[in-house]
Structure 1
Amino acid sequence: MIVVASLVTVVVVAVLVAHPWQEVPPTMRSPEPPRTLRSVSVDFGIVTDPETDWQALDARLDAAGVTGVDLNAGRVEFTAFDWPAHPESAAEPGSDHLARAARALRLTADGEQRQIGLIVDAYVPEWIAADPSVAGVDADGRRVPYNASAAQIAHGPVGDRLVEYVAALGARYQPSQIAVTELFLYHSFGDEDLALYRAATGAADWPRTEDGRPDGLDPTVGAWRSEVIAGLLRRMRAALDEAGASGVALAIDVEVDWADPPRGLPSSGHDFAVLLGAADRLVLWAYTFAARPPSEVGTFTAALVAAGADMSRLVLSVGLWAPASLDPPGALPASALAEAVGSAQAAGATHVNVTPVSLVSEEDWAVLADLWG
């Protein structure tokens, strides 16, 4: 019997070594979501880098008081784990980078559960390169290299694959949330898109500018684009529920209108009222890019609060990207981060996110420790 038991153990270990993605993933969320959350987002390149020192990052998070982490899970064509339905898409076959990261980051130094979310990038450049017909079309009739068309999002294989991937991630990892990013519909002027627009609005053609080009700023176009994205989100929500992931929040990254914060940006398909009818949360891109004073993030937040927005459903995401002319190049200074995050919190933001972790400097970590630690 001892020999048999030993053989069984050897077989189980061999299977896990050969197929590590079949291990039970670590817990990524607590049963009751916290009322406030302080999170950072981890780039896909860091998630999938086998040399990433997760223990060192965990120590950084503890020192800074970070209570949530969002891991980029990649795109449907380039995934951070072996997706059984599409194994050809794995960034590194045989490696579950999401589980590896979550095991290292899931608990704070006090033993509390960090809320670990996943990010799905909606870009499909490789798919478009192989089949240009799925690409979005701009107002001049040119196909774009990254974004799928509105028709693809609404009822094409790209939209279907996105729904499938979100459901697979939810079922496998049970994260705190799944956020869909880079989903815009600026480039939605193909023939199939026009047919979709006509069916939704009853219009015979696109509204047009004085020079005859389709008018992407027309309110009917913004409303239609937002409904197309909302339709995809509803399909994702239904797929998550069917996959046994009803406890996973569904979110979408959205652009903002600094002049009218509660409205969103319908021209990109990001009408907040429409999207909140389909998603659990919106991740608001409060990115100043050094073009706006960082205190404006607080002003923006205060306007949302004054409008009666449910702040538990809104994530204020502070981006660190900035023009290359800054020193250091490509990153906002720590003083700007301090003012942006501090003003958002003071104005009533309950969930504040800083992204991406690859641009967080030593000075930035010290700022977050002062604000969150």
Structure 2
Amino acid sequence: MEQARPQRDGVGARSRRRRWPWVLIVVLALGAAVAAAVLLARPWEDVPPAMRPAVAPDERRSVSVDFGIVTDPGTDWAAVDRHLDAVGANGVDLNAGRVEFTAFDWPAHPDVAAEPGADHLARAARALHTNADGSTRQVGLVVDAYVPEWIAADPSVAGRSPDGSPSPYQASATQLTTGEVGDRLVAYVTALGERYDPSQIAVTELFLNRCFGDDDLALYRKMTGADDWPRDAAGMIDQDSPALATWKAEVLAGLLGRMRAALDQVRGGDGAQIELAMDVRVDWDDPAGGATGSGHDYRVLLGAADRLVVWAYVGSGHTPADVERVTAALAGAGFDMSRLTMSVGLWAGGADADPPRAISPALMTRSIEAASTHGITAVNVTPLSHLSAAHWTALGKVWAGS
């Protein structure tokens, strides 16, 4: 028996030695599969990087990235980063989508993600957040306030023209003030501030030129004390009424104020450092007055937002000289020019032109130069999709002198 024990142990050891190579092969295969899955998923790309530099640059030169490019898995972000470096862009603004169609998984509304399981904003920001000199590039986010799918499902939330026809895109003033659309816009801005801590969140496509439904009349009465809409001599709604313009601006400022208050509370109060901006139209005949027909009274809006992004879009017949007239008028009216961004739009024939066309690189260059006048320190170029190789070359000459 004393001799049998080593023999049995020896047999067991030889058996274990025969099994070990197979076990090792299985373990290695499983490990390789897991590693491949991780590399394919690249989860580290979904971790948001620093998007806000400790000290903001004295002059901001930014490019806006379309939602379609942000959410396209095939976007070559390394190439975009090289372009931004080459032209000296120290800021980039990523379109985060709408409350009904988002660029990441929004836990409160997971069904609206453009691609469930993918954080396109984090992936883009990770590639773009560092300038060529190693400093942090300002990464901002853009929220589109249109709600076409919501309106299609529930037409009652739509803003209405004076004849009662609904807008296919814009929510009513009542919805923005006390309704679910406004609440969700505030919640979305809050979620973006909490998740990403961007340098800026800008709200775009926020207009009140269709706000004449019965619900909005009740809101107008409540806010102003008036019995009815302002009317002209023929009894039609006076859409140019100063009282109406002021009311529209106050509705939008109220929504912006709620967004600002919510941002102030995120990240333990650090969200107060996130700038809240709003895109605004231009009245080319009275630039300092703002586009009041859309509710864009600049003075009223600046009482709630930190910054206005002024649409210096020349593709529909305006000129660089017109752009400089705008900056001169704003400076002459006493606006704090450090709180204004001039956004040079590249659309030729308007953003809805079909097929889409871009203004020439030369016109872009002259418009940027005109926008950078009379104390303006922040200039944006939009959208990325319209920047051809020739546009990038021209942009590098005007911004980086290259």
Q: TM-score, normalised by structure 2?
A: 0.86
**Distance change >3 Å, CA 242–CA 308, structure 1 → 2:** same
Tell me which amino acid in the other structure corresponds to 2:286. Answer: D
SS at match of 2:319: coil
The equivalent residue for 1:287 is 313
1:344 and 2:371 matched: yes
Q: More deviation in 262-271 or 47-56?
A: 262-271
The equivalent residue for 1:48 is 71
> Does the CA-based 8 Å contact 2:253-2:301 persist in structure 1?
yes
1:302 and 2:328 matched: yes
Which residues in structure 2 correspond to 1:90-129 (within 5 Å)? 90-129=113-152
> Does the CA-based 8 Å contact 2:45-2:122 persist in structure 1?
no
> Does the CA-based 8 Å contact 1:16-1:23 persist in structure 2?
no
Shift of 1:290: 3.8
Supply the distance in 1 between the matched residues of 2:261 and 2:45 (Cα, whole angstroms): 25
The equivalent residue for 2:253 is 230
SS at match of 1:243: helix
Q: TM-score, normalised by structure 1?
A: 0.92
Cα offsets for 1:13-60 (capped at 9, x unmatched): 999988949953111011222221000100000000000000001111
1:353 and 2:380 matched: yes
Supply the distance in 2 between the matched residues of 1:268 and 1:90 (Cα, whole angstroms): 30
Supply the distance in 2 between the matched residues of 1:355 and 1:167 (Cα, whole angstroms): 24
Tell me which amino acid in the other structure corresponds to 2:362. Answer: S
SS at match of 2:174: helix
Shift of 1:295: 2.4
Runs of 4 or more off by more than 4 Å in structure 1?
Answer: 10-23
SS at match of 2:61: strand
**Distance change >3 Å, CA 220–CA 12, structure 1 → 2:** farther
Tell me which amino acid in the other structure corresponds to 1:302. Answer: A
**Distance change >3 Å, CA 372–CA 226, structure 1 → 2:** same
**Distance change >3 Å, CA 17–CA 88, structure 1 → 2:** farther
> Does the CA-based 8 Å contact 1:178-1:251 persist in structure 2?
yes
Of 221, 234, 259 in structure 1, the residue corresponding to residue 285 of structure 2 is 259
The equivalent residue for 1:176 is 199
> Does the CA-based 8 Å contact 1:177-1:251 persist in structure 2?
yes
Which one has a larger percent helix, Structure 1 or Structure 2? Answer: 2
Supply the distance in 2 between the matched residues of 1:347 and 1:315 (Cα, whole angstroms): 12
Tell me which amino acid in the other structure corresponds to 1:168. Answer: A
| Gaps in structure 1 of 5+ consecutive residues | 1-9
Cα offsets for 1:209-258 (capped at 9, x unmatched): 44533222211111000000000001001111122211110000011122
Supply the distance in 1 between the matched residues of 2:398 and 2:135 (Cα, whole angstroms): 19
Supply the distance in 1 between the matched residues of 2:251 and 2:140 (Cα, whole angstroms): 24
Supply the distance in 2 between the matched residues of 1:223 and 1:17 (Cα, whole angstroms): 53
Tell me which amino acid in the other structure corresponds to 2:385. Answer: S
> Does the CA-based 8 Å contact 1:16-1:22 persist in structure 2?
no
The equivalent residue for 2:262 is 239
Supply the distance in 2 between the matched residues of 1:12 and 1:198 (Cα, whole angstroms): 63
* Structure with max Cα Rg: 2
Which residues in structure 2 correspond to 1:151-162 (within 5 Å)? 151-162=174-185
1:86 and 2:109 matched: yes
Q: More deviation in 14-23 or 355-364?
A: 14-23
Cα offsets for 1:129-185 (capped at 9, x unmatched): 111000001011111110000000001000000000000000110000000000001
Supply the distance in 1 between the matched residues of 2:199 and 2:321 (Cα, whole angstroms): 29
Supply the distance in 2 between the matched residues of 1:241 and 1:22 (Cα, whole angstroms): 27
> Does the CA-based 8 Å contact 1:80-1:97 persist in structure 2?
yes
Of 289, 293, 301 in structure 2, the residue corresponding to residue 275 of structure 1 is 301
Of 223, 230, 250 in structure 1, the residue corresponding to residue 276 of structure 2 is 250
The equivalent residue for 2:342 is 316
The equivalent residue for 2:211 is 188
Supply the distance in 2 between the matched residues of 1:314 and 1:102 (Cα, whole angstroms): 24
SS at match of 1:88: helix
SS at match of 1:193: helix
> Does the CA-based 8 Å contact 2:142-2:202 persist in structure 1?
yes
Count of aligned residue pairs for this structure pair: 364
